Amino acid sequence: MDAQPESQIVDAVLNAISEQRLPAGAKLGEQALSELFNCNRANVRRALASLAAKQVVELRPNRGAFVVTPSAQEAREVFQARRAIERTIARQAVARVSDEDVAYLRANIAAEAEARARRDKPTELRLSQQFHMYLARLSGNRVLERFLAELTMRSTLILGMYPSAAHSCAHCDDHVGIVDALMARDEELLLRLTDDHLRHLEAGLNFDLPPVSSVSLKDQLIGAPAEGAGGNRKAGRQNLRNA
């Protein structure tokens, strides 16, 4: 068989993680994936190895593959790394931004707000990640862009695993201020707002909550809508261990 099933598996897992349909700790059973993507286990193993290289899947000897489960310390380190990288990205982006870029980012913010208003959490998360990745591309530094792609994926896992108990949206408009600073070419303000935004996200993490419960592997990967980060959490850690 060609590599297409492997790419499909990798893309499906990454998309499911980025939209918080696939939670931290979920088991990715080889047989279930083989049946779901109509491929053999060798394809599945190569796909899982690729995901492990991206730091989003952990391969445990004699147990299988699991979506990584960041600890509280790892969560803090991810946000610390994001602040360092995104400050550099912001410095470079402010010197390169065009009116067309500002228009694109404002349209992205509007779409994100619409998704939030209709409680479409997967779309809201995808658009939020898209906002940060557009800034990374705008910086012109492809190495930083690759680093940020990994970190935003891990951030999504963290935000799904340790969501704010209050589900506050006090900082939902942080992106607006960031774009305003970009448009004004105000580097000092942009750096401060970027740092504040990431600190707001980190400060909202609730490390006392148990891992999110999950539904079937098929629904998680193919795109059944999630309840949201604060859905039923009492089902425990069953995840996909029976998949």
pLDDT score of 158 more than 80: yes
At 159 the pLDDT is 87
Q: What is the DSSP string of the chain?
A: --SHHHHHHHHHHHHHHHTTSS-TT-EE-HHHHHHHTT--HHHHHHHHHHHHHTTSEEEETTTEEEE----HHHHHHHHHHHHHHHHHHHHHHHTT--HHHHHHHHHHHHHHHHHHHTT-HHHHHHHHHHHHHHHHHHHT-HHHHHHHHHHHHHHHHHHHHS--TT---TTTTHHHHHHHHHHTT-HHHHHHHHHHHHHHHHHT--TTSPPPP---HHHHHHTPPP--TTS--TTTT-TTTT-
Q: Find the CATH number of the domain harbouring 106.
A: 1.20.120.530
* CATH number, domain containing residue 21: 1.10.10.10
Q: What is the pTM of this model?
A: 0.77
Residue 227 inside a domain? The answer is no
Q: What is the pLDDT of residue 210?
A: 58
User: For 168-210, what is each residue's pLDDT tens digit?
Assistant: 455 678 999 999 999 999 999 999 999 999 999 999 888 876 5
What number is the average pLDDT over the span 47-60?
A: 93
* pLDDT tier, 222 (very low <50, low <70, confident <90, very high otherwise): low
Judge contact between 181 and 193, C-beta under 8 A: yes
Select the highest-mean-pLDDT range: 91-105, 121-135, 148-162. 91-105
- 108: domain range? 72-203
Residues 140 and 99 in one domain: yes
* Higher pLDDT pick, 2 / 107: 107
DSSP lists the bridge partners of residue 93 as none
78 plus 190 within the same structural domain:
yes
| Residue 82 falls inside a structural domain | yes
Same domain, 93 and 199: yes
For range 43-50, the mean pLDDT: 95
| pLDDT score of 218 | 63
Write the DSSP assignment of 132-150 as a string of letters. Answer: HHHHHHHHT-HHHHHHHHH
Same domain? 96 vs 56: no
184-214: b (≥16 Cβ within 10 Å) or e: eeeeebbbebbbebbeebbebbeeeeebbbb
Which of 120-124, 156-160, 174-178, 206-210: highest mean pLDDT?
174-178
Distance CA 99, CA 116 (A): 26
| Whether pLDDT at 35 is above 90 | yes
Report strand pairing: 27-28 vs 57-60: unpaired
Q: Cα(212)–Cα(230) distance, rounded to whole angstroms?
A: 8
pLDDT greater at residue 158 or residue 172: 158
Q: Are residues 187 and 108 in the same domain?
A: yes
Let me know if residue 228 belongs to a domain: no
Question: Could you give the number of structural domains in the chain?
Answer: 2
Do 174 and 198 share a domain, yes or no? Answer: yes
Residue 151 lies in a domain: yes
Strand order in the sheet with 57-60: 27-28, 64-67, 57-60
- How wide is the angle at C-alpha 15 spanned by C-alphas 67 and 50, nearest 5°? 55
Per-residue pLDDT tens digits for 93-113: 999 999 999 999 999 999 999
Q: Is residue 240 part of a domain?
A: no
